[in-house]
Amino acid sequence: MDARINLFGNRLAAEFGKHINAAGRAVGGSTLPAATQELVKIRASQINGCGFCTDMHTKEAAHAGETSTRLHLVAAWREATVFTDAERAALELTEQGTRIADAAGGVPDEAWAAAAKHYDEDQLAALVALIALINAYNRLNVIVQQPAGDYQPGQFG
């Protein structure tokens, strides 16, 4: 299977990628815990059906030491006992922010309040930016049908 367009070889797509990756570095360097960042990226990618990002972020998380149990349970985090209250709040905000079109009122106050109990303002800013960013990456990859399965940890530096 080949992508509809080579996002890495097209001049305009590569230029866009450079800028969106810079945004990713800003979030990645925040104080939002790295494990939480990967869980957020995995969950949004699952919801959006982005095989490329799901492949990438599960492999990156495993490479960073995340357990297979937690990785396997991300899609069922509500019933799983392996996530902290802070991670659960981040996953809830991720789901609400990813499924924003499904709720006429946007992200519920309850989801925001739960996240705000566990994260300071800078971490909340990083969490919101990360949710927006991974949704953008998901859409790029889903639209072009970027193949999944061959990603290697650290592949993009």
What is the secondary structure of 61-83 as a DSSP string? HHHTT--HHHHHHGGGTTT-SSS
What confidence category does residue 111 fall into, taking pLDDT thresholds of 50, 70 and 90?
A: very high
Q: In the chain, pLDDT over 70 holds for what percent of residues? A: 100
Q: Which two tokens stand for residue 94?
A: 């991720």
What confidence category does residue 8 fall into, taking pLDDT thresholds of 50, 70 and 90?
A: confident
Which contacts of 18-25 are long-range, i.e. CB under 8 A and separated by 24 or more positions?
20/133, 20/136, 20/137, 21/156, 23/129, 23/133, 24/133
pLDDT greater than 90 at residue 104: no
How many Å separate Cα 150 from the centre of its chain?
Answer: 19
Q: Give exposure, 21-58, as e/b (b: 16+ Cβ within 10 Å).
A: eeebeebeebebbebbbbbbbbbbbbbbebbbbbbbbb
Q: Per-residue pLDDT tens for 118-151? A: 999 999 999 999 999 999 999 999 999 999 999 9
> What one-character DSSP code corresponds to residue 146?
-
pTM to 2 decimals? 0.95
Domains belonging to the chain, first-starting first, are: 11-144 (1.20.1290.10)
Q: Which two tokens stand for residue 121?
A: 């303002």
Q: From CA 50, how far away is CA 146, in angstroms rounded? A: 8
What confidence category does residue 156 fall into, taking pLDDT thresholds of 50, 70 and 90?
A: confident
- Nearest partner of 119 among 30, 32, 29, judged by Cα: 32
